[in-house]
Structure 1
């Protein structure tokens, strides 16, 4: 039995070769697996009865090791991840305790030309050289590819820590995924660092595909999770995304994230980016860090104007106040909010009040203000996992009947398609649900919150898909007689 080995660089090459059609094909396979997982029937190896719970070990040095076994129709898999201790002050500073009006929080900019932004809240900077450093003390400038807008050149609130030191102390995730067939033969060994971020984004963006509007996209964080959410969003809905707002502590990491989106394989002269060239992109990129003097106002503006919000930080406190989304002004627009950065009960990205508001019963005729539809539930990848490990769900004290698995939505979709076929109606692809239930309106236009803590089942599906693509495209190392 041959074994395919994919290193970190080889995994990156395979993933960056995926086109929109490849992503949609993988999402279809993942949707089928999640559907079978949520049915709780023993018809195949995707069902929940064949998915062991993951084991989490907390070590004395503060690091965490995860063991994630899983089973599927193509075989079994075991992923082992080691997560280093989170850096001090990981995530973003609390807006309630943040004061940015002092002189020490202001960043000077030299060597740039400032042009008033048409949105009126930020300045657009044009620099002749990326990463150019001005002559003044503490001065810095960095240009953003494409129609980029540099909101702040700072590196966060902590002015005593250099960027290199902060990068060295940031949380690191390393590990591998081992794939086996049903007979126990090892068929794949994959570096899991990039793959984990990719498969998480693959699931999150399944709900993005059918959203009515994705005009404004806001992302908290600039790591691998944030990168793959941005990349897949641009692959799937790129021409419709006009504003990309990245909110993070480190300006340089956000700049590199955007540059990588448009040039992920700089060492390969023959590489063709499926997203296209940055010069032809309609998406305007904005970067915001806490050192900006109007950080609080801009965070509120970005959150309120967003159609889609991706939270990708290991934060231990809410990224923004609940009132941004729960007061009458915040409820006027329907948003899709995906939280994937927190993976333990003490971690939290969304304020619990936002989740409580999402699941609370709403009586539309009692409201005098315009508001978008609420679904009465929070969507999760796994109910059992999120009730125990998702900080937002745990701290909001949600009950099992207030969360719904992503696979259950696909189950409802298939049921609606079956009834359409029985009535002799034309069955269209996409988000088709029973009329009158309000489910389609909620998923496409309403306020939708998706929370993910990760599921080993995703690794089985995506891992086998990546190995299959690698073999077809002649990538990776192949050992013919491993067994």
Structure 2
């Protein structure tokens, strides 16, 4: 049985070659697996009964090693990753001094606190920033490395290191994949499942500028081409945000034959704002960006809320329906959204008591795994949500075969990608209302996406193959 080994560059090469149709097919495969995970009996290998809980190993240096075994339709697998202690201070709370730490201020200036890009190419961004680090390579872009670590020769380009081992149904090892890029991609793949059918994605705000943020932005632009008019990236370090945006349009600089599926230049309709807390009007702009957003991605390991709850829970904040995905916090003490926002989302609302415009609430928070989020998601734990106040992502989608059958019966054309359950109230909430998605990660996601990458690698002769392993 051959073994295919994919290094980080191999994984990046495959992922950056995917176009919109490829992403939709991957999302359908992942949606089917998550549906089986959430709803099936023990007759299916994706059932939650066959998904062991992940194990944590705390090391003396403060890092944490995760062992995430999983079972899929085509076999089993395990992901082993070591997470270095992140700088989890997040963005400053508005009651505090809004200046950055001395470590960051050494590489940023007030001039770098906000930058706007509109209808320009990548090279003009680099040349317009006098304080850009000259010794930062494209390989560091979006990797979670800030400018100071590059400047001081830090070799660590990411806080996550590890691999995914894939086995077939007989236990033969068929794949070994670097987990760094894969982890960020599969998380974004799940987060953006609900993005495809949102009524509006005009304004997108992203907290963070690492690989998670990068893949969330990239997949959003692939799934909704030409519809994102404003992209706001909010992070503590301006240089990392600049590199994240640059990588979107030039992800493979060493490949002269590479064709970028999202285009070679900035979309003429997209205006990009980069904001850091050093800006003198940070509080005003933060409120403006959050309030105007149709979609918010939170990708930071913050231990304090990224913005006050009133931005979204007071009458003005409730006028617009938003899709909010939080994937950065993975421990009980970490929190990106204020617990009051989650409490409001699940609280019963009586329409006749409200005289102001207010978007529909679903009465639940969407999660990738109920058991995992109740144990590890800081927002869910601190909001004291009950099991009946969270719903798994897999429960919202129909299996591909069921969707095809329904479309055929109704004489409708089958749509690509995920399809919601046939419920008008559910569809209205998911497409127009306020939706919060919280993810802590599932080994099943790595197995499903990993197997797809192995298949594509073999088709394109990418990576290293060991015969008769």
Question: Which position in structure 2 is the counterpart of 1:130?
Answer: 126
Distance 1:420 1:11 in 2: 35
Asked if the contact 2:122–2:246 (Cα under 8 Å) also holds between the matched residues in 1, the reply is no
Is residue 2:39 matched to residue 1:11? Answer: no
Asked if the contact 1:340–1:452 (Cα under 8 Å) also holds between the matched residues in 2, the reply is yes
Deviation for aligned residue 1:85? 1.1
Question: Which position in structure 2 is the counterpart of 1:85?
Answer: 85
Once the two structures are superposed, the pairs formed by residues 238-317 of structure 1 within 5 Å of their partners are 238-317=225-304
Aligned residue for 1:240, secondary structure, equals coil
Distance 1:166 1:369 in 2: 55
Aligned match of 1:341 in 328, 331, 337?
A: 328
Distance 1:303 1:115 in 2: 17
Aligned residue for 1:302, secondary structure, equals helix
For 1:136-159, what per-residue CA distance to the aligned partner results, in whole angstroms no more than 9, with x for missing partners? xxxx369xxxxxxxxxxxx89xxx
Aligned residue for 1:205, secondary structure, equals helix
Asked if the contact 2:238–2:276 (Cα under 8 Å) also holds between the matched residues in 1, the reply is yes
Question: Which position in structure 1 is the counterpart of 2:217?
Answer: 230
Asked if the contact 2:164–2:176 (Cα under 8 Å) also holds between the matched residues in 1, the reply is yes
Asked if the contact 1:417–1:432 (Cα under 8 Å) also holds between the matched residues in 2, the reply is no
Query: Closer, same or farther in 2 for the Cα pair 1:281/1:46, shift >3 Å?
Result: farther
For 1:285-333, what per-residue CA distance to the aligned partner results, in whole angstroms no more than 9, with x for missing partners? 1100010101111110000000000000010110000000000000000
Query: Closer, same or farther in 2 for the Cα pair 1:304/1:11, shift >3 Å?
Result: same
Q: Which runs of 5+ in 2 are unaligned?
A: 134-145
Aligned residue for 2:291, secondary structure, equals helix
Deviation for aligned residue 1:278? 1.3
Deviation for aligned residue 1:115? 11
Asked if the contact 2:200–2:294 (Cα under 8 Å) also holds between the matched residues in 1, the reply is yes
Question: Which position in structure 2 is the counterpart of 1:371?
Answer: 358
Query: Closer, same or farther in 2 for the Cα pair 1:413/1:94, shift >3 Å?
Result: farther
Distance 1:293 1:464 in 2: 48
Moved more, 300-309 or 167-176: 167-176
Question: Which position in structure 1 is the counterpart of 2:393?
Answer: 406
Aligned residue for 1:328, secondary structure, equals coil
Distance 2:412 2:453 in 1: 34
Question: Which position in structure 2 is the counterpart of 1:137?
Answer: none
Is residue 2:89 matched to residue 1:70? Answer: no
Distance 1:65 1:241 in 2: 37
Query: Closer, same or farther in 2 for the Cα pair 1:320/1:473, shift >3 Å?
Result: same
Distance 1:376 1:416 in 2: 25
Query: Closer, same or farther in 2 for the Cα pair 1:401/1:296, shift >3 Å?
Result: same
Tell me the matched-pair count. Answer: 448
Deviation for aligned residue 1:12? 0.5
Deviation for aligned residue 1:60? 2.2
Higher Cα radius of gyration: 1
Question: Which position in structure 2 is the counterpart of 1:351?
Answer: 338
Query: Closer, same or farther in 2 for the Cα pair 1:446/1:412, shift >3 Å?
Result: farther
Asked if the contact 2:403–2:419 (Cα under 8 Å) also holds between the matched residues in 1, the reply is no
For 1:52-111, what per-residue CA distance to the aligned partner results, in whole angstroms no more than 9, with x for missing partners? 110011222110100000001111010000001122x5321112323469xx9994549x
Distance 1:454 1:94 in 2: 27
The Cα RMSD (Å) is 3.0
Is residue 2:52 matched to residue 1:52? Answer: yes
Question: Which position in structure 1 is the counterpart of 2:96?
Answer: 97
Question: Which position in structure 1 is the counterpart of 2:136?
Answer: none
Query: Closer, same or farther in 2 for the Cα pair 1:394/1:131, shift >3 Å?
Result: farther
Deviation for aligned residue 1:362? 0.5
